[in-house]
Amino acid sequence: MLVRLKACAKCQGDLLPDEEDWKCLQCGARYYSEPPVNDEPPDPPVPPENDGDSKPVSVRRSSGGRHGNFLPGSTKINSLIDNRTRSVQEWIERHQEEIRYFFDGLSNQEIAEILAKDTRQVKRDRERFDDLYANGEI
């Protein structure tokens, strides 16, 4: 019996052959051996014929779908990225002393005593620091 171990894209489960397709043993997802048959795409539009008196007509195709070659809402995405960057910079400025203690290797308890903060807040700050450091933002 042929089995594909950890091949399910949904749950990383094992795939077993089931008639002409594969079925995940854990979640039941199906994977077909051959792609389903689709109707052929529609023919491209035919430009009107030029009678010689008017300017030639050109058919312009956009490779980017109905919105052109840019992502819809790309301005919004860029502003979100800028806001995130600004937020990280502000956080770093507000927590410079605490970050220095993180680099010095002090414990959360020690930092909390020095800065007169709650240890839970220092723990949250250290977690955010670790995330930013791991992502190369610090």
User: Domain limits of the chain?
Assistant: 1-32, 70-134
Torsion (CA) 13, 17, 19, 22 in degrees, nearest 10: 40
Per cent of the chain over pLDDT 90 is: 7
Q: What local confidence, expressed as pLDDT, does residue 82 receive?
A: 76
Between 82 and 103, where is the model more confident?
A: 103
CA distance 86 to 84: 5
| Model confidence pLDDT, tens digit, residues 44-88 | 666 666 555 555 555 444 454 554 555 555 567 777 777 778 888
Could you tell me the sign of the dihedral formed by the alpha carbons of 85, 91, 96, 101, in that order?
A: negative
Q: For residue 123, what are its two tokens?
A: 């723990």
Read off the pTM.
0.42
Q: What angle do CA 97, 101, 102 make, to 5 degrees?
A: 115
Instruction: Say if CB 131 and CB 124 are below 8 A apart.
Output: no
Cα–Cα distance list, 115 to 2, 105, 107, 132 (Å): 62, 15, 12, 21
